[in-house]
Structure 1
Amino acid sequence: MESIPPSYAPSPPSPSYSPSPPSPSYSTQLLPGEQTVEETRRQSPQALNTGVFRRITDSTTLVLRDQQPGSITPVYGRNGLVRGHISLRSSEGLVEVTLKLEGHLRLETSGAAITTLVASDSYSLWSSSSTEPYVNLQPLPPSFEHKLATCTYTLSVVVSRPRRFLSSFRSSDCLVVPVCYHPRSRPRTPMLPSDVPFMTTVKSSPEEWHQLFIPSSQVYPLSETIPFHLQMRAPSSSLAPFINKSAPKHGLPVLSSEEITIRVYLLRQVVVKIFEEQKLSNQIIGEGKLTYSSPLPDNHHSYCNVPLGEGIDCLDWDGELRYTEDVTVGSFATNPLSVRDFIVLSLEPLQPLKCPLLASKHLHPIRLVTDPWSDHAVTW
C-alpha cells in the first residue's frame, strides 16, 4: 500500500526585531554623585628574578640563579629552590662534592651567648660511592639580626679529595656563602584603602573595622600604611585639653597646651627565652599621624567650664600609621625566639602632678607580613 506524505502549511515569516541599543560605556572614574561601594585592587605579578650570583675562588666557582640583579647576598623564600651550577678547576682525585645548608640561631643571655643549630641539610652532588642526602625538615626562622638574637644561614660547597700521603684520609676545600632566608607572607583579605573616610565605611562595612578602630584583618603588609580611627568619649571638661591644635614642631599630636600627648605608634617586641630566663627588647618601628575627622562641636569653647560628670561628648580623629624604620622581616615565633608587633595607643600627661587626667597605654597585638593581599596565585 502506497503511503501519501502529509501536507504542511508554510511557516509564517519570522518577526522583525529592532536592533538592541548599544551597551552603556563603563569607566572606573566616578561621576558627580557616584561613590565606590566596594573595590578590589589587583596586584600585578612580581617580575621574575633573572639575576645571577657568582662566587669564585682559586679552585671552585659557584653560580646561583633566580636572584635579583645586582644582589650581593642570595635570597630564598619558603620552599625556595636552589638552582645553579658548580665548576671545579680540577677533578683529579675527586672523591665527593657536597652542598650543605646550615642555619645558626645565636641568643644573647646575661653574660653569655648560646648558639643553636636550626638547620643542617646535606646534599651529595657527586660521590665515588653513592650516599643518600640528609634533609632536616622543620619550620625555620627567617634571617634576622637584633642585639638579643641573630639568625644566619650559609650555603657551603665542600670538595673532598684524598690526602697526598694518607689516602685513607680526606682533605676538603670549602666555599662558604652567606644566604638570606626571607619567607614571605600576606593577609588573607584586602585592607580598606586609607583614603576612604572612616564614617563612610563603619556604617556600610562595620565588619571591616576592629576597635581601636583598626582594619579587622589585623594582618598588615610592610609595604602599606595602616589606617585607624580614634574616638574619645568622656565628660566635656575632660576633653577640653585635647581640643587645641597640635604643635607643628612635633610629628606627633602634642597639644599646644602642653598638658597631655596622644600618640599612636607601631611597637616591635623581641622576646628571647632560654630555660627560665626571658629577655625582652622594645623598638618603635612606626608612627601615627592624627587629624580631626569631623568639625568640632559648636560648644567646644565652653568645655573647660563644664563641671565633671555633666554630659558625655566625643572627639574623633582619623590617622595613618607609617613605618619609620627599614623593616623587612614580618612577625614570627619559634621556640626560643619570637618577634611580636603591636599598635599602641598612649595618653601621657606632660606634668602628671598638675594634670587631672591619668596616663593610659593600650597595646593591641597585630601581625606584620611581607606582602600585600593579592587575588591571583603566587608561588613563593
Structure 2
Amino acid sequence: MSVTALDASSLLPAYTPPAVVPSYLPEPGNGERLIERAPHSKSRRATGNYIKKCGRDTVVLTDQDATAEMPTYGRQAHINGFVSMDKRELVLKVVLTVKGKIEVAISEGESVSKTVVDEHCTLWPSQNHGGSMCPSTVPFSTMLPAKFEDGKGSYPLPPSYQAAFIASGGYNVKVIYTLSIAVVRTRKLNFMSTKNTTSVPFNYVPRTRPSRAIQPFVSGFFADIKLMPEEWRQTTALVSPRPKSTLPPVHIHLFIPAAEIFALGDTVPFHVQLTGAVASLRAFLPDPSHKGPEIQVSLLRQLIAGQTSSVRFAAAHATLASAPPGVHAPDSDEHASLDWAGELHCGPVIQVGSFDAGVLKMQDFIVVDIFPAAGTKSEFARVRHSHPIRIVTDSWPDT
C-alpha cells in the first residue's frame, strides 16, 4: 500500500489570529453545558472595566474590579483592553509599554535597582494599516512574562510590594509595575509632534497554594502524632547550659504541619516540647514564687536586598498554652518534659508571600525564643530556634 503525502496548506483554510483574546465567562451560556469543574478558590473572575483618562486619551482595562483603586494581574496574565482617542486624524503612533522595577534605598547610601519587565509594543500603525487613518479605538492584549534574567539566573517576577522600615536604618523597598499608553500626534501648523502618555500602575499578585492541607489537632497533639506521624514535621535544637554549669543540656522539639507551606489566611498549629534531665528543666523553674520560663513563638520575616543588606521583623506572635505532662519526677537523674501548644496567624501586616527575585528575597521562619527564669541567676542563656517555612497566597482547596 502506498501513502501519498498531502500538502496541508491546500486542505486547511487560512487562519488569522484575533488581535485581542476573546473574553470567557465563569459560567456556561445559552447552548453550553459544564462537563467537568476542577477545584478552585471561591473567588470569581472580575468582569468590570478599569478606566483611566488622561487628556484626549482614555485607557480601558477589561476583566477588572471596577471599584478597585488599582487593576490586578496574576502570573502570566493577559492584560486586555483598548485605548480610545480624540483627534484620531492627527495620530501618528500608539505605543504600549509594560514596566516592572525593584527599588531599594537605604539611608546609609546603599541602593539596589533592577528592572524585571520592560516590554514595548507598537499598537498603531500596524503592519497592515495600508496608510489608513488611525481608528478612534485601538485594542491591545499582552501577556506578562513568568520570569526575568539578571545575569546570574532566572527568577519569577516578584509580587507588588512597598514597605518602609524607619527603625532599621531607613530601609525603603518598592516593587512596582506600570502599564503606559503613549499617543503621538502631529501638529496642524508645523512639523512638530506631541506625545500624551497615560500611565496605569497595577498590582502584580502571582497566586500559589500549598502542596498539601494542614492537619489540625483532632484528639490532642500526643494522640495525633501517634496516629498520623507523617502529618507533622519535627525539628530539634540543643540548649546548652552556661560554661561553668554542670547541668546536662536540654532539647527543644518544634512540631509543625508537614506541609511547611502556609497561606496568608491559614491558622498554623504547633507544639513545643523541652526534654531533658529533671534537674536541667527545674533550672527553668527554680522557685514557684519566681516567674517560670518564658517561651515566645513568632513568625519572623527577613527581607534581603543585594548581597549584604537585610532587615528582620516579627510579623505575628502566637498565644501559648501549657500542655501536660509537667516536671514532677523527684529523681534528678530522670528525664521529663515541658510542653506548650499554640497557633500562629499571619495577620494583616503580611501582604505578600515568600519570594526570591535574586536581588530581593523575602524569607519566612517560625521562631521559638526561650527566656530562662527571672529572679535568679539562671544556668541557661536565652535561646532562639528557627525553622524556615514558606508563605503563599491561597489555602489548600477544601473542595
Q: Bin the TM-score by the shorter chain.
A: 0.7 to 0.9
Amino acid at match of 1:292: S
1:143 maps to 160
Partner of 2:176: 152
Q: Indicate conservation of the 8 Å contact 1:59/1:88, yes or no.
A: yes
C-alpha contact (below 8 Å) 1:262/1:347 kept by paired residues? yes
Name the residue aligned to 1:272: 305
Give a deviation string over 1:106-145, Cα, whole Å, max 9, x none: 12253143432211112222215569x9986633111111
**Residue 272 of structure 2 corresponds to which residue in structure 1?**
230
Cα contact 1:241–1:260 (8 A) shared by 2: no
Asked if the contact 1:260/1:349 (under 8 Å) is kept, the reply is yes
1:81 matched to 2:75? The reply is no
Is the Cα contact below 8 Å between 1:156 and 1:177 reproduced in 2? yes
User: What is the rounded CA distance, in whole Å, between the counterparts of 2:65 and 2:283 in structure 1?
Assistant: 52
| 2:69 corresponds to which of 68, 72, 82 | 72
What is the Cα deviation at residue 238 of structure 1? Answer: 3.2
Native 8 Å contact 1:98 1:122 kept in 2: yes
- 1:292 is paired with a residue whose SS is strand
Paired residues for 1:200-239 under 5 Å: 200-211=223-234, 212-239=254-281
Displacement of 1:355 in angstroms is 1.5
> What is the letter of the counterpart of residue 358 of structure 1?
A
CA shift for structure 1 position 325: 4.0
Does residue 62 (structure 1) correspond to residue 104 (structure 2)? The answer is no
> What's the counterpart of residue 124 of structure 2?
126
Please report how far the alpha carbon of residue 150 of structure 1 lies from its aligned counterpart in structure 2 after TM superposition. 1.2
Q: Match of 2:90, SS?
A: coil
8 Å CA contact 1:352–1:358 kept in 2: the answer is no
Preserved contact between residue 285 and residue 292 of structure 2 (Cα < 8 Å): no
Equivalent residue in structure 1 for 2:115, among 110, 113, 117: 117
Letter in 2 for 1:355: S
Amino acid at match of 2:175: C
The structure with the greater share of residues assigned to strand is 2
SS at match of 1:54: strand
The C-alpha deviation readout for 1:210-265, integer Å capped at 9, x for no partner, is: 01200111111111111011111122233346679xxxxxxxxxx98335321110
Q: For 1:339, what is the secondary structure of its paired residue?
A: strand
Q: What is the deviation of 1:328?
A: 1.9
1:33-52 CA-partner distances (Å, limit 9, x unpaired)? xxxxxxxxx87532222332
The one-letter amino acid paired with 1:76 is Y
| 1:188 match: secondary structure | coil
User: Which stretch of the first structure deviates more once superposed, 150-159 or 64-73?
Assistant: 64-73
1:161 positional shift = 1.9
Residue in 1 that maps onto 2:102: 105
Aligned equivalents of 1:170 and 1:103: distance in 2?
28
Shift of the alpha carbon at 1:203? Answer: 1.1
CA deviations on 1:321-364 (whole Å, 9 max, x unpaired) are 12244312100011211100000011123659711222211110
- The answer on whether the counterparts of 1:229 and 1:317 sit within 8 Å (CA) in structure 2 is yes
Paired position in structure 2 for 1:17:
none
Moved more, 104-113 or 70-79: 104-113
Task: Summarize the Cα distance change of 1:176–1:217 in structure 2 as closer, same or farther, 3 Å threshold.
Answer: same
Q: Is 1:258 matched up with 2:300?
A: no
CA contact (8 A) 1:268 1:342 kept: yes
Q: String of CA shifts for 1:9-37, please: whole Å, max 9, x gaps.
A: xxxxxxxxxxxxxxxxxxxxxxxxxxxxx
TM-score (norm 1): 0.74
* 1:170 to partner: Cα distance: 4.0
Give the stretch that moved more between structures: 135-144 or 205-214: 135-144
Verify the 8 A CA contact 1:101 1:153 in the aligned structure 2.
yes
Matched position secondary structure for 1:213: strand
Partner of 1:50: 47
| Aligned-residue offset at 1:320 | 0.5
Secondary structure of 2:226's match? helix
**In 2 relative to 1, CA 50–293 (structure 1 residues): closer, same or farther, beyond 3 Å?**
farther
Q: 2:319 aligns with which of 278, 286, 289?
A: 289
Partner of 2:369: 346
Q: Which residue of 1 aligns with 2:33?
A: none
Matched-pair contact (CA < 8 Å) for 1:194–1:225? no
Give the secondary structure class of the aligned counterpart of 2:174.
Answer: strand
Offset of 1:296 from its aligned partner? 4.0
Change (3 A) 1:256 1:53: farther
The number of aligned residues is 313
Go from structure 1 to structure 2 and tell me whether the alpha carbon gap of 1:150 and 1:258 turns closer, same or farther (over 3 Å shift): same
Gaps of 5+ in 1: 1-41, 245-254
Letter in 2 for 1:180: N
Q: Is the 8 A contact 1:271 1:278 kept in 2?
A: yes
Map of 2:88 onto structure 1: 91
Q: Secondary structure of 1:95's match?
A: strand
Consecutive unaligned residues of structure 2, counting only runs of 5 or more, are: 1-38, 130-141, 149-155, 165-170, 235-253
Q: Which amino acid aligns with 1:120?
A: D
- Secondary structure at the aligned position of 1:192 is classed as coil
- What is the TM-score of this pair, normalised by structure 2? 0.71
Seen in structure 2, the aligned counterparts of structure 1 residues 58 and 350 have a Cα distance that, compared at 3 Å, is farther
Change (3 A) 1:321 1:170: same
AA of the residue aligned to 2:226: K
